[in-house]
């Protein structure tokens, strides 16, 4: 590979990018827009859950239990109902997400030293939230003071995200999703555009090899993508106040490898398509959709079937997400993250070799 020829292709692509100011603006602004939209729209925290109450006891102790729910940040008092049937109707119409039913004789049982029972009805439409709501409600009820002897208590200590902010979990994951959304698409369209216009035939007739052509196409868009990730990381730290506990150089180096991977995927997509529409659709199918589903961005990998868990290891967004969250939240070092980084390097090499082979120079 002659780097002088590669530099010529890089200069040509850089000039075309610079002249297309709209594309440059979209490249720089859309990742920030996507970060703001997902950063504020995706909230995994359970707060202010609408609470309906059926207090059939109407005693100071029953009101004290209701107060425990209302005083917490997890529940918001929505309405007072008179029967379980009304509570079921409130859950059906989504006027409440949880209903607390306190039976008659609640305070009397407490005074006698008995274990009174209360009923908690939870809307299980969204199972993940329902499990959290049920756990919070159970914790409040269990800790409600009774005359009985205290049981063994567990002391919890949350590591890496002690505030339990979903923003700290979502934003580092968006680093991988955003880089998988735009760079492959832009890179694929760049080559397919030359196919449609016929200008790529000049490349085929030139002394330029396929590897030199792929490298020359890859570098400019990789630089743009790297600028995107720098902006996104800076915005996540300064605007969303996501902590950064690891080494910045490790995240920057891993981002550089991941950028080459995503741009290489775009080159591979352009090598197997002939029109910009086909390239756009294929790029979205093989990049954006899997980055949401199989990367661990929103859904834990360990809950998936074994076959999909293995596939997630082969998809580059998954390893990079482990790196970004590991560096940002856990302060992980290279010794802990090198398997994921090695997967990215191997993925990049494989994609580059396949793309170069598909774009092998033809004789004019």
**Contacting residues for 103 by C-beta, under 8 A, at least 6 apart:** 56, 57, 116, 117, 118, 119
* CA dist., res. 133 & res. 180, Å (int): 33
Task: Output the pLDDT for position 147.
Answer: 42
Element (H, E) at 335: helix 334-358
Element (H, E) at 103: none
Residue 303 has pLDDT above 80, yes or no: no
**Contacting residues for 299 by C-beta, under 8 A, at least 6 apart:** 293
Task: Output the pLDDT for position 362.
Answer: 44
Q: Are strands 75-81 and 49-55 parallel, antiparallel or unpaired?
A: parallel
Helices 166-181 & 317-325 angle (0-180, nearest 10): 140
Evaluate whether 54 touches 88 at the Cβ level (below 8 Å): no
Element (H, E) at 195: helix 183-197
Q: How confident is the model at residue 200 (pLDDT cuts 50, 70, 90)?
A: low
Task: Output the pLDDT for position 182.
Answer: 78
* CA dist., res. 59 & res. 109, Å (int): 12
Q: How confident is the model at residue 155 (pLDDT cuts 50, 70, 90)?
A: low
* CA dist., res. 229 & res. 172, Å (int): 11
Q: Which of 71-80, 125-134, 233-242, 329-338 has the lowest mean pLDDT?
A: 125-134
Task: Output the pLDDT for position 363.
Answer: 37
CB-count burial class (<10 Å; 0-12, 13-18, 19+) for 272: middle
Average pLDDT, the chain: 81
Task: Output the pLDDT for position 151.
Answer: 47
Residue 47 has pLDDT above 90, yes or no: no
pTM above 0.85, yes or no: no
* More confident site: 209 or 170: 170
Tens-place pLDDT, residues 214-271: 777 778 878 888 888 888 888 888 888 888 888 889 998 998 899 888 888 888 888 7
* CA dist., res. 267 & res. 232, Å (int): 23
Rg (alpha carbons) of the chain, rounded to whole number = 28
The string of DSSP codes covering 48-96 is SEEEEEEESS-SHHHHHHHHHHHHSSSEEEEEEESSHHHHHHHHHTTS-
What is the length of the chain? 364
Minimal CA–CA distance to 217: which of 364, 26, 12? 12
All domains of the chain in start order, with CATH: 3-42+166-358 (no CATH), 49-142 (3.40.1710.10)
Mean pLDDT (whole number) for 133-148: 76
CB-count burial class (<10 Å; 0-12, 13-18, 19+) for 93: exposed
Helix (H, G, I), strand (E, B) or coil at 102: strand
Mean pLDDT (whole number) for 10-34: 75
**Contacting residues for 267 by C-beta, under 8 A, at least 6 apart:** 187, 188, 191, 214, 217, 218, 351, 352, 355, 359
- Percent of the chain residues past pLDDT 70, beyond the cut: 88
Q: Are strands 119-122 and 75-81 parallel, antiparallel or unpaired?
A: unpaired
In the DSSP assignment, the letter for residue 310 is H
């Amino acid at each position: 590979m002659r780097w002088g020829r590669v530099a010529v292709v890089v200069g040509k692509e850089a000039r075309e990018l610079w002249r297309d100011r709209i594309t440059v603006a979209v490249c720089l602004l859309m990742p920030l827009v996507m970060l703001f939209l997902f950063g504020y729209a995706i909230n995994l925290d359970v707060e202010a859950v609408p609470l309906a109450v059926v207090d059939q006891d109407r005693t100071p102790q029953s009101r004290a239990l209701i107060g425990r729910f209302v005083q917490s940040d997890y529940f918001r008092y929505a309405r007072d109902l008179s029967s379980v049937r009304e509570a079921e109707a409130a859950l059906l119409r989504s006027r409440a997400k949880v209903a607390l039913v306190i039976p008659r004789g609640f305070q009397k049982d407490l005074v006698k030293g008995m274990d009174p029972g209360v009923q908690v009805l939870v809307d299980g439409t969204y199972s993940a939230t329902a499990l959290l709501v049920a756990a919070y409600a159970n914790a409040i009820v269990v800790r409600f003071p009774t005359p009985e002897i205290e049981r063994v208590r567990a002391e919890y200590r949350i590591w890496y995200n002690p505030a339990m902010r979903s923003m700290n979990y979502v934003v580092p994951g968006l680093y991988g999703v955003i880089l998988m959304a735009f760079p492959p698409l832009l890179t694929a369209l760049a080559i397919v555009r030359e196919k449609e216009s016929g200008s790529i035939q000049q490349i085929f007739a030139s002394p330029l090899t396929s590897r030199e052509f792929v490298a020359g196409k890859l570098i400019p868009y990789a630089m743009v993508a790297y600028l995107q990730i720098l902006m996104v990381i800076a915005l996540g730290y300064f605007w969303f106040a996501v902590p950064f506990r690891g080494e910045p150089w490790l995240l920057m180096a891993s981002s550089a490898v991941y950028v080459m991977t995503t741009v290489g995927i775009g080159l591979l997509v352009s090598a197997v398509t002939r029109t910009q529409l086909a390239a756009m659709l294929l790029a979205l199918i093989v990049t954006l959709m899997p980055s949401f589903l199989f990367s661990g961005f929103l859904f834990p990998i360990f809950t998936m079937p074994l076959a999909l868990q293995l596939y997630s290891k082969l998809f580059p967004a998954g390893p990079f997400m482990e790196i970004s969250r590991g560096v940002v939240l856990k302060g992980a070092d290279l010794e802990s993250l090198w398997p994921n980084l090695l997967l990215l390097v191997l993925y990049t090499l494989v994609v580059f070799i396949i793309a170069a082979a598909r774009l092998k120079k033809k004789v004019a």
